[in-house]
Amino acid sequence: MIDLVLGGARSGKSRLAERLALTSGMAVTYIATSQALDAEMAQRITVHRERRPAHWDLIEEPLALADALRAAAASDRCVLVDCLTLWLTNLLLERDQQRLGRERQLLMECLGTLPGRIILVSNETGMGVVPLGELSRRYVDEAGCLHQALAECSERVLFCVAGLPMALKGELP
């Protein structure tokens, strides 16, 4: 089963995804895509680490997400990926501009083949003004296309606002 959890910044989407993983009754592997490129991001990572149960496995993978998913997924395991928009940002900033397309293709190909439960977390960015700057516009476009493709292959899509989940596809947990 694939769950896609979307929401804006500080909407409660990560907490919701963590609750879904906790209540799955399965062993959990958390795949973190962020990189501590500055002090503020390092602090955010620390907060997430402190909030997670100590017995969860952790994979830190900022780029090769499909490989990490294949390595972690098992029929008796829940894999939580947080978050796809940071993963997307990491790939957009890569020197190899073709890597984003390759990694996205690998992700989409592997998702339907993975055993167990997969929970994907991502920021919904397409609800505001069109951003200034080519890179920002490309980011919003890429995120929107990625979310549409993921929603299509997910059994459940949840949207989180002010800590409250809304079911866009499937039933509320």
- Is 96 marked as a binding-site residue? no
- Is 13 marked as a binding-site residue? yes
Mean pLDDT of 102-131: 92
Element (H, E) at 118: strand 117-123
Read off the pLDDT band of 22 (50, 70, 90).
Answer: very high
Ordered structural domains, the chain, with CATH:
2-169 (3.40.50.300)
Among the listed residues 48, 99, 138, 169, the single catalytic one is 48
Read off the pLDDT band of 125 (50, 70, 90).
Answer: confident
Does 48 qualify as catalytic in the annotation?
Answer: yes
Q: Would you say residue 130 has pLDDT above 80? A: no
Per DSSP, the three-state class of 112 is coil
Per DSSP, the three-state class of 109 is helix
Mean pLDDT of 137-148: 94
Where are the strands (E) in 12-82, listed by range? Answer: 27-32, 57-60, 77-82
Question: How far is the C-alpha of 94 from the C-alpha of 82, rounded, in Å?
Answer: 19
Q: Which of 120, 54, 110 is nearest to 87 (CA)?
A: 120
- Is 99 marked as a binding-site residue? no
Mean pLDDT of 16-35: 96
Q: What's residue 56's pLDDT?
A: 97
Please spell the DSSP secondary structure of 84-103, one letter per residue.
HHHHHHHHHTSS-TTHHHHH
Cis peptide before 160 (omega within 30 of 0): no
Question: How far is the C-alpha of 71 from the C-alpha of 120, rounded, in Å?
Answer: 16
- Is 142 marked as a binding-site residue? no
Angle between helices 13-22 and 39-51 (to 10 degrees): 30
